[in-house]
Amino acid sequence: MKYFLLLSFIFIIAITKITAQVDLPQAIIVPTGSLGQVSEIRKKILEKTLESSLDDYFAIVPKDLFEEAQEKAFEELDYEECTEEQCIVLIKEMLQVENSFQLVLMAEGDDTYISINWNDLDRKRVQEEICEKCDTKKLRESISLLVNTLVINEQNKLNQILTNQNSSDELINQEVETRKGEKDELNKNSMLREYRALSFNSSNENYEKFIKKYQNSDFAKDQIIELQSRINKPAKKNIFTRRKEYESILIDNKKIHGCSWFCDDPLKLPKFQGNFHIVKYKRIQVSASDYPWTSTGIVVDDNSKYRIKMFGNGEARSCKSCKNNRNPLGRIRYRLGDSESRFNPRFVNGKSTILNLNNNGELQITYKDWGKWPPPKKNYQDNSGEMLIDIFMYEKQRENEFFNFLKELKKLNIEDENMIKVNL
């Protein structure tokens, strides 16, 4: 019975704390900055102390969510833009959080300088102290005291403002107007933050929620007009989805498709970057003796949306006694789905771009050895040779981002016979 009562008491306290945190403002804790002899263990202990002290006043964003947003911020910002301050601003926009805290430690001899920095949308606050001959325990006590002082001072300032409001009717009216202006400005800042966050979570559903929330707000008119124009248009995938899709391409291209023995090496694919675009990619080995179609695994679901680019090399003979075909890629044909229509991709110097796709379905390719369709199987039985073809599918509207990917791909495979033909 004693243990049951103890567990019940702990459970009630936990539930009470969780319920209380629902209405607390959210905050992120930026990794601790340090200078001098400060061990990693001490930094982690003190950072936990900061988190524990802030937990009474703020709902702290979990560390794994912060780190994921931090990684995306590094990918989104160019090298010149990626200062710590700008990255933190972008992270707060992604997580839709107003408050950030950072602990700074500087050690010299037996003394440690402690600073706690608090940034929100309006201003920066700093509370600092020099702790002389302090061990970790005393440093923890100092941090807890600094947090309480920092937050309580802010609360006292707000209370003082409220007290001064009661001094006269005139002051009350003035303060009400000031507060109204501040509230409007705060609402506008909040609206802009939510609007920017839509670039990472774009969908018609999120657009409609934003429009409904701010439909009566004059300061959101321009943003609402823009979102209304986007509704029912294909939403741009957020960076998290794009990374996941790119990782599936990496996994799917660890070997050459259509090759079983003595295969060439697959291309080395670059790590994902925020300015990349690629929908599908395959390196295919096409045998001149394969009858008649070779599957690529690349499926076109909207032929008006995509383009296909190919790079190839190889040799082929159409009979045992024949010489090598001088232009085997000139005999490559493709079709989409089960269509009876066959098309020539028109390789020139080992390169081909299919600007307009005529159908939906899986892309299939073959080596042409017929005068009349369908060809008899015996036409292919004495053929020999293979061609190695790299096939890329990308969206027409994002060609520049595809070229960013292709440039990095060439850098990693500079001696590859197909990649030598990439000229951007």
- Domain assignment present for residue 7? The answer is no
CATH number at residue 136: 3.30.160.100
Asked if 30 and 147 sit in the same domain, the reply is yes
What is the domain count for the chain?
3
State the alpha helices, DSSP H only, in 264-326: none
Residue 161 and residue 178 share a domain: no
What residues does 199 pair with on adjacent strands?
Answer: none
Neighbour-count burial of 259, counting CB atoms closer than 10 A to its CB (0-12 exposed, 13-18 middle, 19+ buried): middle
Whole-number pLDDT of residue 308: 97
Q: Which tokens belong to 348?
A: 């020139």
Alpha carbons 155 and 180: distance in angstroms, whole number: 19
Using omega within 30 degrees of 0 as the cis cutoff, is the peptide bond preceding 374 cis? yes
For residue 91, what pLDDT is reported? Answer: 85
| Cβ count near 404 (within 10 Å) | 19
Cα gap 290→303, rounded to integer Å: 27
Which of these three, 230, 257, 279, is where a domain ends? 230
Taking the C-alpha atoms of residue 71 and residue 200, their distance in angstroms, rounded to an integer, is 13
**Do 269 and 141 share a structural domain?**
no
Question: Does residue 88 sit within a domain?
Answer: no
The answer to whether 147 touches 53, Cβ cutoff 8 Å, is yes
Q: What share of the chain is helix, strand, coil (3-state, %, to 5)?
A: 45, 20, 35
Regarding whether 289 and 156 lie in a shared domain, the answer is no
Distance CA 53, CA 149 (A): 11
CATH number of the CATH domain containing 387 = 2.60.120.430
Among 317, 343, 348, smallest CA distance to 332 is for 343
| Dihedral (CA of 405, 407, 412, 418) sign | positive
DSSP code, position 290: S
The confidence score (pLDDT) of residue 394 equals: 96
Q: What is the distance between the alpha carbons of residues 127 and 346, in angstroms, rounded to a whole number?
A: 69
Q: How confident is the model over 290-314, as pLDDT tens digits?
A: 998 999 999 999 999 999 999 999 9
Residue 83, in any domain of the structure: no
Residue 226 domain boundaries: 172-230
Please check whether residues 354 and 401 belong to one and the same domain. Answer: yes
> Which pLDDT belongs to residue 326?
78
Tell me, yes or no, whether 85 lies in a domain: no
C-alpha distances in angstroms, 122 versus 73, 131, 181? 22, 30, 14
The verdict on pTM exceeding 0.95 is no
Last-in-domain residue among 147, 165, 183: 165
| Same domain as 130, residue 48 | yes
Same domain, 179 and 155: no
Q: Are residues 223 and 178 in the same domain?
A: yes
* Whether 226 and 243 share a structural domain: no
Domain edge (last residue) among 146, 165, 184: 165
* Number of residues assigned to the chain: 424
Q: Tell me how far apart the terminal alpha carbons of the chain are, to the nearest angstrom.
A: 77
* Residue ranges in the chain modelled with pLDDT below 70: 1-23, 77-83, 158-186, 199-202, 232-237
Residues 6+ apart with CB under 8 A from 9: none
Q: Is residue 384 part of a domain?
A: yes
Nearest 10 degrees: CA dihedral of 50, 54, 56, 59?
Answer: -120
Rounded Cα gap, residues 376 and 378, in angstroms? 5
Q: Which residues lie across from 314 on neighbouring strands?
A: 387
Domain annotation covers residue 92 = no
Q: Per DSSP, which regions of 288-383 are E strands?
A: 294-300, 306-314, 332-336, 351-354, 361-367
Neighbours of 249 (CB within 10 A): 15
**One domain, residues 416 and 378:** yes
Q: How far apart are CA 34 and CA 418, in angstroms?
A: 49
Residue 341 Cα distances to 112, 282, 334, 373, 374, angstroms = 77, 22, 9, 10, 12
298: left (phi over 0), alpha (psi -120 to 50) or beta: beta
pLDDT of residue 101: 92
Alpha helices (H) along 22-135:
40-54, 63-76, 84-95
Q: Are residues 407 and 259 in the same domain?
A: yes
Structural domain contains residue 261: yes
Q: Retrieve residue 74's tokens.
A: 């590094």
Q: Do 54 and 29 contact (CB within 8 A), yes or no?
A: yes
Look at the alpha carbons of 166, 171, 177, 179 in this order and tell me if their dihedral is positive or negative: negative
* Phi-psi group of 149: left, alpha or beta (phi > 0 → left; psi -120 to 50 → alpha; rest → beta): alpha
Contact 273, 239 (CB under 8 A): no
Query: Which residue, among 105, 112, 118, has the nearest Cα to 133 in the 3D structure?
Result: 112
Q: Do residue 223 and residue 307 come from a single domain?
A: no
- Is 141 within the bounds of a domain? yes
Distance (Å, rounded) from C-alpha 402 to C-alpha 374? 36
Which among 130, 124, 128 is positioned nearest to 112, based on CA atoms? 130
Task: List pLDDT tens digits, range 242-263.
Answer: 888 999 999 988 888 877 777 7
